[in-house]
């Protein structure tokens, strides 16, 4: 395993005894920091950047979270030279040295990819899947990544792919209201009153929808072209809403996720997000930005 990269200005790991290493800047050893065992909601990271130890081990590819808990309880994991057995322990991946069975664990580098999904491609990582998967189109993306939410088999357009579970959860979860915009083609000429119904929310089998922002782009004799923005994102929500109103969806393409658009990205193509784009998504998922 690769050696841990050291920042000259960062704290160095310290065990129970007197360390030989000194700070390159001050010549004095830093004080030992206690391991934080304050409980966190599942999947969340602390505001100070600390994460659960089991999550850190899983994201670094050591083992699953469940297995990580077993290894922590068995005393196989140390943080800054001290064995940690508390299952709620949190660490700072940027400054804490974590060892598993004596070997340094390097944090996984976050990966964010924007992919333009064609029809017929599925958003699953199942190894036995016979249909083409999103990850099959990403040969240059290393490590374990997965799609943020899903687009069904017959839909196309933007899909985010990442290994950043905490931010992915916020983007996909209805509670955080990240807007997603779709180009929708309906069968039938939609009436104004039905557009208003869809905007206000429609009662489905699992309850009422939260409504949508809808722009009528063009109306034909037997077709309707719409732009629909939703923040809830239930399973097949747009298809179900318009089917209930009597206008089956003939095609659906996701053209925007928050600040990200399809511009310049051909079908079946992908690109890596810039740091600025990831920062904008993060602000939006915290309720600090507007799309």
Active-site amino acid positions: 152
Reading the block at residue 253, the tokens are 């393409």
Reading the block at residue 288, the tokens are 């600090």
Unique residue bearing structure tokens 């079908």: 267
Count of beta carbons in the 10 Å neighbourhood of residue 104: 13
Q: Do residues 247 and 186 touch, judged by C-beta distance below 8 A?
A: yes
Q: Do residues 138 and 115 touch, judged by C-beta distance below 8 A?
A: yes
How deeply is 164 buried, as exposed, middle or buried, from its count of CB atoms within 10 A (0-12, 13-18, 19+)?
A: buried
């Amino acid at each position: 395993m690769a050696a841990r990269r050291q920042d000259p200005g960062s704290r160095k790991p310290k065990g129970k005894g007197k360390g030989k290493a000194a700070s390159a800047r001050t010549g004095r050893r830093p004080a030992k920091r206690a391991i934080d065992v304050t409980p966190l909601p599942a999947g969340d990271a602390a505001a100070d950047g600390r994460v659960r130890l089991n999550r850190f081990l899983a994201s670094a590819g050591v083992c699953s979270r469940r297995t990580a808990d077993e290894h922590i309880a068995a005393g196989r994991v140390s943080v800054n030279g001290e064995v940690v057995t508390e299952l709620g322990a949190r660490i700072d991946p940027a400054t804490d040295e974590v060892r598993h069975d004596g070997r340094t664990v390097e944090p996984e580098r976050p990966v964010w990819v924007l992919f333009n999904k064609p029809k017929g491609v599925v958003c699953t990582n199942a190894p036995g899947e016979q249909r083409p998967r999103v990850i099959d189109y990403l040969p240059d993306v290393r490590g374990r990544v997965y799609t943020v939410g899903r687009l069904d088999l017959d839909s196309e357009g933007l899909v985010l792919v990442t290994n950043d579970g905490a931010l992915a959860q916020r983007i996909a979860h209805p509670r955080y209201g990240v807007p997603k915009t779709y180009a929708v083609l309906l069968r039938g000429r939609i009436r104004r009153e039905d557009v208003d119904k869809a905007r206000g929310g429609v009662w489905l089998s699992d309850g009422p929808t939260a409504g949508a922002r809808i722009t009528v782009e063009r109306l034909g004799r037997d077709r309707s072209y719409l732009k629909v923005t939703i923040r809830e994102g239930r399973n097949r929500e747009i298809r179900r809403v318009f089917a209930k109103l009597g206008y089956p969806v003939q095609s659906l393409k996701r053209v925007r996720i928050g600040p990200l658009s399809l511009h310049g990205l051909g079908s079946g193509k992908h690109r890596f997000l810039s740091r600025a784009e990831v920062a904008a998504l993060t602000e939006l998922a915290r309720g600090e930005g507007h799309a």
